Amino acid sequence: MTQTNFDFIIIGGGIVGLTLARELSVRGNKKIAILEKEEKLGVHSSGRNSGVLHAGIYYAADSLKAKVCREGSLRMQEYAKENGIACKKLGKVIVAQREDLAPQIDFLLERSTANGIRVEKIDERQLHELEPYAVTHKHALYSPDTAVIDSKGVLATLEKEIKAAGVEIIKGAEVIALDSTAKTITVRAHAGDQGSGQRAGSTYGYGYFFNCAGLHADRIAHYDNVGLKYRILPFKGMYRKLTPESAAKFRSSIYPVPDLNVPFLGVHVTRSVYDEVMVGPTAIPAFGRENYTGFKGITPSDFPTMAWDLLSMMKRNEKGFRKMVYDELGKYREAGYLKCVRELAPTLQSSDITHHGKVGLRPQLIDEEKMKLEMDFIVEKGKNSTHILNAISPAFTSSFAFAKYVLDLA
């Protein structure tokens, strides 16, 4: 069996894997490879997000998310400017959908201040000037530094840059085993074009590897005997979009006050970098790592475990988890989706909202011992390895700063 050796191997060619490869290369490292399961980049989370670059409002000051989000957003916007990637700083407003949620505006203002984030508390009149069709109870927050970006454009530019720097991107290579003693990674090579210097292989040797496998990160970590108390429980994010006539009413993004007990931001209105206005995403439990539609992507190995984890967490009902699931399931129906959107912009009707093909899966991590959702990024060290777990929002926003943090830690 032939073996190709690299100093560094990165498993996963999403935004975290690509920015890690770039940072390694910038620091003068050579012989770097990315093993990507798919035949192209951006098939999963990194290519299916909303394109929002978050300012860093929501995260507890002592969290890793808070440490890297603001810097990451600034660096991503600079990268877009340097490379001609479409990016617009449109800002966003956060509104209180109900009177009982109004105190959350002040809480988020305090958290933003602690994180050094520029936000402004505005009244209903000021909100109307910014977003004439949005509503709130008494006050809202205005974030002028929230931006939107062409996510796939970022991935394509990074791919081109790191390949020019000598990083080898090996596509169609699914990791199925690793040996931390022999320092080898075994892959199953899929059929497909392995041109442009790429080659499918069976075994790769490494000096050090980084696990950036997203929806499969827990599985890879377990191969390395790392993060054994963690498992992925994916949540499905479905988007819809506004008709062109309705989209013209909105200037930026409108977010609800989120439930900070769960790591989801709720259905929101977002104007994309190409002026399409989306509504979403949902956070509906899924039963497969790639369960985008119907029963596709549900595997016999994952379904029983994921179903058990979901039922166990619903029974435990920590921080109102059961109600959150029921509310999300209601968004499968048009009426449930419309209700959420109209809490932000009451004049919208069902005729204003059309189908959108975008569906994403959030690689949400749970702690099996405590049966709870993990809120922060988690970085676990193995033997000659680092595992990036729970790379959920704002992972795309944070990626440049996060890559620096991970390499400094390694």
Same domain, 240 and 331: yes
CATH (domain of 219): 3.50.50.60
Q: How far apart are CA 165 and CA 88, in angstroms?
A: 28
State the virtual CA torsion across 330, 323, 63, 404 in degrees, nearest 10.
-30
User: Rg (Cα) of the chain, in Å, rounded?
Assistant: 21
> pTM for the complete prediction?
0.95
* Whether residue 338 sits in one domain with residue 285: yes
Q: Say if 287 falls within a structural domain.
A: yes
Paired sense of beta strands 253-256 and 92-95, if any = parallel
Per this entry, what is the length of the chain? 410
Q: What is the mean pLDDT of each run of 10 residues along the chain (410 residues)?
A: 90 98 97 97 95 96 97 98 98 96 96 96 98 97 98 98 98 95 90 45 92 98 98 96 97 94 92 96 96 95 96 94 94 91 96 92 96 96 97 97 96
What's the start-to-end Cα distance of the chain, in Å?
Answer: 31
Residue 214 included in any domain: yes
Is the residue at 21 inside a domain? Answer: yes
Residues 222 and 239 in one domain: no
Residue 355 and residue 245 share a domain: yes
User: 358 and 383 share a domain?
Assistant: no
Q: Which domain, by its residues, includes 357?
A: 235-252+263-362
Task: Answer yes or no: is 381 within a domain.
Answer: yes
Where are the alpha helices (H) located in 141-180, listed in sequence order?
151-164
| 9-51 residue pLDDT tens | 999 999 999 999 999 999 999 999 999 999 999 999 999 999 9
Together in a domain, 247 and 332: yes
Total tally of structural domains belonging to the chain: 2
Domain match, 220 and 243 both: no
Tell me whether residue 70 is in a domain: no
Q: Kindly report each contact of residues 183-188 with a partner whose C-beta sits within 8 Å and lies 24 or more positions away, as own/partner.
A: 183/207, 183/384, 184/3, 185/9, 185/11, 185/35, 185/209, 187/35
Q: Each residue of 236-265: pLDDT tens digit?
A: 999 999 999 999 999 999 999 998 888 899
> Both 310 and 395 in a single domain?
no
In a domain, 77, yes or no: no
316 φ/ψ angles, rounded to the nearest 5 degrees: -65, -40
Distance CA 370, CA 347 (A): 43
Using alpha carbons, select from 28, 35, 12, 38 the residue that is nearest to residue 165: 28
**Domain match, 270 and 345 both:** yes
Assess if residue 132 is contained within a domain.
no
Mean pLDDT across the chain, nearest whole number? 94
Q: Which residue has the tokens 């199925």?
A: 176
> Residue 355: its pLDDT value, please?
87
Does 318 lie in the same domain as 248? yes
274 and 210 share one domain? no
60 in any annotated domain:
no
Q: Are residues 267 and 345 in the same domain?
A: yes
